[in-house]
Amino acid sequence: MKCSVVKDLLTAYVDSELSDESQAQIDTHLEECDSCRKEMQAQMGVHRLLSEKLERVKADPELKQQIIKKTVGQSKAKQFWFVRKLQFELRPVTGFAIAALLVITFLTKDMILDRQSIIPVNPTGISTQIPVVSDGMEASITGKLVCVGCYLKNKYGAHHDCKLHGHKLGLVTSDGNIWSFTDTKLADLVCGDMEMEGKTIKLDGNVFYTAHFIDIKNYTVMEGNE
């Protein structure tokens, strides 16, 4: 083997990234060639210093706690609003049950749900207000699109980092209730486009009252505030 060829292969030789055959050929060359051997030793020396001499720095316990808390330690309550997709997609029944429970847990006196705000779509074309809507029923809801995270953060000081996770739009109705959307292409069109923020919109779809989710079937932009 020529020195130039060997020198090109030395890095891979040091890292044992060559075939046994090439590795052996280079071994033979190194026994006879000072120049190549020195270059190999220089690379091997640096490799060993880095792998053996450098102290490994550990992460602070606070950093670890923070990471755990914000990933696997996330409470169901937070998941309900922001990352509950899995439950929703995989186990709708349990998902709803948990969500329903959470809604109840979340209720404060002035947040009591105003069921009057939901107007079911009536085949006759005449909208009638009814006091109770059962889950999955078709209805239309009018409200304003806001980033749910920012809204809860501004209003209640909720912990939510839109800079990191991105804004996600939801619908606020005049009674102060907030509606999220089941994950569909249509929902992405509505809530994935930040230019829609602040617009008043009418949504038709299946309404899941307990979970405050809408499966959007159709939407109409009523007006823009900007």
Partner 1 sequence: MWESSEEKKEAFKVEALAHIDTLYNAALKFTYNRDDASDLVQETYFKAYKFFGNFEPGTSCKAWLFKILKNTFINKYRRKVRQPEQVDFDAVEPYVDLIRDKTLDPGESLDEDIFKSHMSDDVKTALARLPEEFRMVLVLSDIEGFSYKEISDIMDCPIGTVRSRLSRGRKLMYKYLLKYAKAEGY
Nearest approach, Cβ of residue 212 and partner 1 (Å): 19
Confirm if 118 and 207 have CB atoms less than 8 A apart.
Answer: yes
Long-range contacts formed by 156-160: CB under 8 A, 24+ apart? 159/78, 160/82
33 contacts Zn ion (rule: CB under 5 A): yes
- In the region spanning residues 137 to 156, those forming contacts with Zn ion, defined by CB under 5 A, are 147, 149-150
Q: Dihedral sign, CA of 134, 95, 114, 220?
A: negative
Q: Which two tokens stand for residue 171?
A: 């619908």
Q: Which is nearer to partner 1, 95 or 205 (CB)?
A: 95
Q: Give which of 155, 153, 156, 151 is closest to 171, Cα–Cα.
A: 151
Q: Which does 66 bind (CB under 5 to 8 A by kind): partner 1, Zn ion, none?
A: partner 1
- SS3 (DSSP) at 179: strand
Binding mask 68-87 for partner 1 (x = CB under 8 A): x-xxx------x---x--xx
- In the region spanning residues 107 to 146, those forming contacts with partner 1, defined by CB under 8 A, are none
Query: Which residue in 45, 136, 176, 224 binds partner 1 (CB under 8 A)?
Result: 45
Q: How many residues in the shown chain lie near Zn ion by CB under 5 A?
A: 8
Q: How many residues in the shown chain lie near partner 1 by CB under 8 A?
A: 43
